[in-house]
Amino acid sequence: MKLVVLAGGYGTRLAEETKVKPKPLVKIGNKPIVWHLLKIYSHYGINDFIICLGYKGDLLIKELNQISKKEDWKIKYVKTGLKTMTGGRIKKIQKFIKDDENFCLSYGDGLSDVNIKKLIKFHLKNKKIATLTAVKYKNPKGILIFGNQNKIKKIKEKPLEYINGGFFVLSKKIFKYLKNDQTIFEKDCLPKLAKNNQLLAFKHNGFWGCMDTFREKKELNKIWKSNQKAWKVWNG
C-alpha cells in the first residue's frame, strides 16, 4: 500500500519558518517533521510514498532526498500546484495509484503513535470508501451548554473532543468525490462521504500532535527532546 502526503500548503501561521521553507521541512529535533511522518509509516512496512508538492516544492525534494539516502524508501514527487486545494491535490495523483484498491493519506505536519497496521485492517474489514483517525483534542476554550431562553446550564472547561487526526485510509473510489483543483477534501468531500454512509472513524486515544503554530512546534520539540518521544514507534 502507498502513502500519499499532502505537503503543498503555505503554512502561514508558521511564517517565522515558512518564509524560507515549506512547512513539512520545519524541524523536530534535527530532522524535518515529514521525515518523522515517513518513519512512522515505514515502521509498519509502508515505504512507497507519493508527496504532493506545492509551495517551495523543489526545496522539499532536495532535502528529503538528502536525508533519506539510507532509507529503503521509494518516493514519487508530484507538483500539484501552488493554489490547489487539498482535494485537488489528491485528485492529481490518481494515475499513480491506479493499481491500488486502497491507499493511506496523511498531512505533512501531523504526528501520532497510531498503529497504522490496525488502522488499515479496520478499513479493509469495514469496506467503506474512507476511514479517518479520530483523536482526542483538548479544546483550549470552555464550551457553553445552553438551556431554554439562553440560560447557561453548564460550562465545560477545556473539554476533550474527538477531531480529525489526519491519518486516513482511502479506497480509490474516493476520486469520484474529487471534482477539480478547488475541491477542499475536508469541507467538500468528507461531509458527502458521511452523508452517504461511506466514512468511518478509527478512534485513537494515544498521542497525536500537529504543527500549525509556533507554539505547537515548540511543544513537539520539547516532547522529542524528552525521554517520551511519543510518536517514535520505530527502532534506532
Total number of domains in the chain: 1
Residue 165 placed within a domain = yes
Residue 47 placed within a domain = yes
What is the pLDDT at residue 159? 66
Residue 234 placed within a domain = no
Q: DSSP class of residue 144? A: E
In 3D, which of 91, 111, 110 has the Cα closest to residue 50?
91
What is the pLDDT at residue 14? 81
Sign of torsion over alpha carbons 22, 28, 32, 38: negative
Residue 109 placed within a domain = yes
What is the pLDDT at residue 11? 79
Give the range of the structural domain holding residue 31, as residue numbers without chain letter.
3-225
At 193, list the grid cell.
462521504
Q: What's the pLDDT tens digit per position in 13-50?
A: 788 788 888 999 999 999 999 999 999 999 999 999 99
Residue 232 placed within a domain = no
| Half-sphere exposure for 112 (CA within 13 Å, toward CB) | 24
In 3D, which of 86, 100, 88 has the Cα closest to residue 1?
100
Residue of 152 and 39 predicted with greater confidence: 39
Residue 220 placed within a domain = yes
What is the pLDDT at residue 140? 64
Separation of CA 217 from chain center: 15
Separation CA 207–CA 209 (nearest Å): 7
CATH number at residue 82: 3.90.550.10
Neighbouring residues of 87: CB distance < 8 A, sequence distance ≥ 6 = 177, 178, 179, 183, 184, 185, 188, 189
The model carries a pTM of 0.91
At 93, list the grid cell.
495523483
Q: What's the pLDDT tens digit per position in 167-225?
A: 999 999 999 999 999 999 999 999 999 999 999 999 999 999 999 899 999 999 999 99
Residue 76 placed within a domain = yes
Residue 231 placed within a domain = no
Neighbouring residues of 156: CB distance < 8 A, sequence distance ≥ 6 = 142, 143, 145
What percent of the chain stands above pLDDT 70?
Answer: 95
Q: What's the pLDDT tens digit per position in 122-146?
A: 999 999 999 999 998 876 666 667 8
What is the pLDDT at residue 158? 63
